Structure 1
Amino acid sequence: MLSWTIGQVKITSIVESETPTSPRFMFADVDKNGVIERAAKAPWLLPHFVNDQGYLLQKIQCLVIETGERRIAVDTCIGNDKERSNELWSHLQGPFLDDMAAAGYPPESITHVVCTHLHVDHVGWNTRLVDGAWVPTFPNARYLFVETEHEHWKTTESLFEGDDVFGDSVAPISEAGLADLVEADHRVCDEVSFQPTPGHTPGHISVVIESDGDRAIITGDMTHNPLQIADPDLSTMFDTDSDAARSTRRAVFPGWADGTTLVIGTHFGSPTAGTMHPDGDGYRLQV
């Protein structure tokens, strides 16, 4: 179980799944040969983030930020029992909550839940199925949703046809009185704040952790795989606005690539985090 220390703050990864992924799942114009070609130009991508067969090495995880007074769960994965059109994600029966508890974070200890955006693999454990109803998984937490993001998905069909993601994983939080709609530059506490990184979705945010002069960034899906660090212009098929997503990466990466900020990729394969450095027309992630 990976964890990092940023000053007085601890960040722990709770992994729901970690599997090689075909690049065609994510990129319209990059196949396995294309991944191999890109890795030849950016060999630092191997072996952690892509493999020599051209697969992306990805994970779905929740990152728990512990500041002392607060335990903040960032992105809650896919969840159990959810009806999903992707058969690999439908009606899961995984040990995620047991794994959280084993790491020292039982659900009742979480004080805040943050979703970088409201796609299916970032909100699933917001709720769990109890006696046929979806109830908040973290009953003592305030769930922080960026208002722009919340209102977009409240009136927009899910990313995958037939998935009632908002209905089973977001709306029950408001119905339980646990939702707070906030701005995209919201500050949770002295150590944790949001950085607006729109494009992948309208209200997408990354999470900034700062303590004792150290800094970390949780990317969310403004970059799915370090291929997009090597080539910030590479966007995925799941972006609401691909041009805006490219512009966001070009705008924020220079500030992240200071050689000291720890960049934690929400979907990056293990070791998941490193420091960014300029590299030609893009960047590299040093682990």
Structure 2
Amino acid sequence: MADDNAQGFVIGDVEVFPVAEWAGPYVPLDTLVPDLPPQAWRADEDRLVPDHLQDGRAVVALQTWVVRGGGRTVLVDTGVGNGRERPGNPLFHQRQGDFLERLERAGVRPEGVDVVVNTHIHGDHIGWNTHEMDGSWVPTFPNARYLIPGADDRHFGPEGGYAGGARPDDRLMYEDSIAPLHRAGQTVLWDGAHRLDGDLVLESAPGHTPGSSVLRLRSRGERAVFVGDLLHSPVQVPHPECGSRFCLDPRQAATTRVRVLERASDERELVIPAHFGGSGAVRVSKRGGEFVFRNA
């Protein structure tokens, strides 16, 4: 079903599984979620090691989630990509990997992808939107519609001065991974909410970026929600006030995180973040007025 040793889920009639570009210990815990007290990591250490925590470093997966059902193949986020100029991030800079081969081993050929969802515009979520051909960046998935939050397109694109020009990487990632899609006429920009079909709905979830979004899946009474970078580690579930160091608006991100976790608990949604190790997902509930998690 999935590539190599990746695990997956079945949500009603829909198959869901990750295809990893890279996974492993990434950064120290206090670097990834700087406002989280050390005792919070220790309190859940038995459930965090080894899938989410190894040798004092947070385990992170760069991966794409494949959603397959109803005769349609949807990709949720597309990783870093090969050959990118990302001087601000050594892990992303000029990477070379076999992601497309992994995707094909999972039974997904580029021409067979119908929809690509970018939950937001960051370099590790849009990279395989395109690939290099004859010296130009072109869409990797030639028959797909690319769904991109309009607020992020405005912020990270030329309209927003490439996120105000604060980081060279923002201009680079937009020009090699988003602009070619616009030129090819394959993008759909949306704001607020966007329904893909009867099973899948995109909803705005701002804070991490202006256009950050979640993708909700419902099939035959079962539910899941792809939350992108709303969570970087399960330890944030009992501490939703603590965001990652990558959030552009930490206060808004915290408010959004609480709202999404409340609904996940109430509606028993499987919570699927972009970067979790292990199975890649958690179940969320409330105990004594606080959120708790268990690995899926």
Aligned pair in 2 of structure 1 residues 160, 225: CA closer, same or farther (>3 Å)?
farther
Task: State the match for 1:15 in structure 2.
Answer: 20
Could you report, residue by residue, the CA deviation over 1:50-70 in whole angstroms, capped at 9, with x for unpaired residues? Answer: 436321111110001112221
Unaligned runs of 5+ in 2: 1-5
User: Percent of counterpart pairs with the same letter?
Assistant: 34
- Does structure 1 residue 284 correspond to structure 2 residue 293? yes
Q: CA deviation at 1:109?
A: 0.4
The structural deviation recorded for 1:44 is 5.3
Aligned pair count reads 283
* 1:192–1:209 CA contact under 8 A, matched in 2: yes
Distance 1:147 1:52, change over 3 A: closer
Q: Cα distance, 1:184 vs. partner?
A: 3.2
Task: State the one-letter code of the partner of 2:174.
Answer: F
Shift of residue 195, structure 1, vs aligned partner = 2.4
1:203 match: 211
Q: Indicate the SS of the match to 1:180.
A: strand
User: How far does residue 77 in structure 1 lie from its aligned partner after superposition?
Assistant: 0.2
Match of 1:138 in 2: 141
Asked if the contact 2:67–2:73 (Cα under 8 Å) also holds between the matched residues in 1, the reply is: yes
Asked if structure 2 preserves the Cα contact closer than 8 Å seen for 1:62 and 1:76, the reply is yes
Distance 1:205 1:267 in 2: 15
Question: CA 1:232/1:150 → structure 2, altered by over 3 Å: closer, same or farther?
Answer: same
SS at match of 1:123: helix
Among 161, 165, 183, the residue aligned to 2:167:
161
Give TM-score scaled by structure 2 length. Answer: 0.90
Please state whether the residue corresponding to 2:90 is helix, strand or coil.
Answer: coil
One-letter identity of the residue aligned with 1:161: R
Q: Tell me, yes or no, if the aligned pair for 2:67 and 2:74 is still in contact at 8 Å.
A: yes
4+ runs deviating over 4 angstroms: none
Q: Name which of 234, 244, 261 aligns with 1:236.
A: 244
Contact 1:147/1:182, CA 8 A, preserved across alignment = yes
Conserved? CA contact 2:20–2:99, under 8 Å? yes
Say which SS state the counterpart of residue 95 (structure 2) adopts: coil
Aligned to 1:27: 33
Q: 1:181 offset after TM fit, Å?
A: 1.1
Instruction: Note the C-alpha offset of 1:49.
Output: 4.5
Kept in 2, the 8 Å contact 1:45–1:227? The answer is no
Taking only aligned residues, the RMSD between alpha carbons, in angstroms, comes to 1.9
Pair 1:44–1:206, CA change in 2 (3 A): farther
Which residue of 2 is the match for residue 90 of structure 1? 93
Query: In 2, Cα distance between the equivalents of 1:233 and 1:204?
Result: 17
| Contact persistence 2:10–2:16 (CA under 8 A) | yes
Q: Residues 107 and 99 from structure 1, CA distance in 2 versus in 1: closer, same or farther, beyond 3 angstroms?
A: same
Aligned letter for 2:291? G
**Separation (CA, whole Å) in 2 of partners of 1:87 and 1:53:** 21
Give 3-state SS (helix, strand or coil) of 2:241's partner. Answer: coil
Q: Deviations over 1:204-242 (max 9, x none)?
A: 111111100000111101111112112100012211110
CA separation of 1:279 and 1:18: change in aligned 2, threshold 3 A: farther
Q: TM-score, normalised by structure 1?
A: 0.92
1:24 shift after superposition: 4.3
| CA distances 1:125-163 after superposition (whole Å, capped 9, x unpaired) | 000011110000000001111211211111244698322
